[in-house]
């Protein structure tokens, strides 16, 4: 039995059903799309990232939409994959709660950036 189903809607966001609960995350405008290569892969990565940290289904979806939206600002999929600290900072600016369990990772990464 499938536990979750997620459908991306491009610039309009995404919808998901997880554990019988429906969630919607609207699209996020981060400027003009330069290259959408890899946006779906990064969406999936961020959704799993949120799930592994215990975020609820709506928050996972919102983080995934944000990561995908940030990724299309640069040419190539690799260039659009921002670091976790950048993702968390962008999410905080947009009112997303930091997923549980990510603050220790974020603090460690911030410490490495200062070195």
Q: Could you tell me which residue, 102 or 24, shows the higher pLDDT?
A: 24
Give me the sign of the Cα torsion angle 16, 49, 9, 11: positive
Which of 37, 40, 61 is closest to 49 using CA atoms? Answer: 61
pTM: 0.84
Whether 1 shows a pLDDT value over 80: the answer reads no
Per the DSSP assignment, residues forming a β-bridge with 29 are: none
Angle at 92 between CA 95 and CA 55, to 5 degrees: 80
pLDDT at residue 89 in the model: 92
Sign for the CA dihedral angle at 94, 95, 97, 102 comes to positive
19, 4 Cβ separation under 8 angstroms: yes
- Architecture of the domain made up of 4-114: 3-Layer(aba) Sandwich (3.40)
Question: pLDDT value at position 98?
Answer: 85
- Are the C-beta atoms of 82 and 71 separated by less than 8 Å? yes
58-110: per-residue pLDDT in tens? 999 999 999 999 999 988 767 889 999 999 999 999 999 888 876 644 454 45
Domain range list for the chain:
4-114
Q: What percent of the chain has pLDDT over 70?
A: 87
pLDDT score for 2: 75
pLDDT at residue 20 above 60?
yes
Sheet with 4-8: strands ordered across:
4-8, 13-18, 21-26
């Amino acid at each position: 039995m499938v536990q979750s189903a997620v459908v991306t809607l491009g610039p309009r966001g995404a919808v998901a059903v997880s554990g019988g609960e429906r969630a919607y995350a609207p699209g996020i405008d981060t400027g003009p799309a330069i290259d959408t290569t890899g946006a779906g892969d990064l969406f999936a990565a961020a959704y799993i990232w949120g799930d592994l940290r215990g975020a609820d289904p709506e928050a996972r979806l919102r983080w995934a939409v944000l990561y995908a939206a940030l990724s299309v600002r640069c040419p190539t999929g690799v260039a659009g994959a921002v670091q976790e600290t950048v993702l968390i900072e962008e999410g905080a600016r947009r009112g997303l709660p930091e997923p549980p369990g990510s603050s220790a990772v974020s603090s460690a990464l911030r410490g490495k950036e200062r070195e």
